[in-house]
Amino acid sequence: MVDVTITGLDEAIKKLESFKMSLSDLLKKVCERLMDEGFNVAQARFDEGSKLYEGTSNVEVATPVWEDDLLVLRANGKAVAFIEFGTSTSTEPYPSDFPGNPDPYGTLHLDGRGEYGKKHGANPPWYYPLENGGTPKKDKNGKESTKWAVAFGNPPARAMYQAAITVSDKEKAREIALEVLGK
């Protein structure tokens, strides 16, 4: 039997392990930078959508967080679905061509646009309790209601949809990866 020894093998193994760890850290950094781009898009679109939303907007886009090996972006608040998907009589549809998601309402267990409650949301205009904010309904004489607000609907902000498009952009991912790797 012949013993073969390679000098420095242990040192080479340690260097490879270190490289493996740094590669994992770099990949996480690329993901975080890419998700920051998605966060900025979602925040901007929810801010813009909140201006058009006739109710009281309480949407907050949370800073992306790691959950095991997933980086998660969330939007919280009662108005999220109304602003993301739009409401009532607005004519701009929510896109249904997002891969694997032909019906965003059904997938998220939401009523279709104009179908919530008594299903009067598709009738222009529609009314909701003024305590939720908005523009007071006026009667025939122009007197403002103290009980009801009037709404004509708002277009979908598509904030999370556009954030998903942004983080799945291969060119953007390549650009960020090259920047993180210092190339």
Q: Is the dihedral of CA 121, 97, 176, 33 positive or negative?
A: positive
Strand duo 126-129 + 70-72: pairing: unpaired
Give the structural domain span for 132: 9-180
**Nearest-angstrom CA–CA distance, 101 and 116:** 21
- Is residue 138 in some structural domain? yes
Alpha helices of 2-138 — where are they, by DSSP H?
Answer: 9-52, 80-85, 104-107
Query: Quick check: is 98 in a domain?
Result: yes
**Total domain count for the chain?**
1
7: Cβ–Cβ under 8 A, 6 or more apart, which residues? none
Q: Report if residue 1 sits inside a domain.
A: no
Measuring CA to CA, which residue among 56, 16, 83 is closest to residue 149? 56
Q: What are phi and psi of 178, to 5 degrees?
A: -65, -40
User: Are 148 and 122 within 8 A, CB to CB?
Assistant: no
Whether 4 maps to a domain, the answer reads no
CA neighbours within 13 Å on the CB side: how many for 151? 28
Given CA atoms 77, 119, 153, 39 in this order, what sign does their dihedral have? positive
153 inside domain: yes
Nearest CA among 51, 69, 67 for reference residue 59: 51
Paired tokens of 24? 């994992």
Does residue 84 sit within a domain? yes
Residue 116 lies in a domain: yes
Please tell me the pTM assigned to this model: 0.66
In a domain, 3, yes or no: no
pLDDT tens, N- to C-terminus, the chain (183 residues) = 666 567 677 776 777 666 666 888 888 999 999 999 999 999 999 999 888 887 778 999 999 999 999 999 999 998 998 888 877 554 455 555 445 555 555 666 666 655 666 666 566 677 778 887 778 888 889 899 899 888 777 778 889 989 999 999 999 999 999 998 886
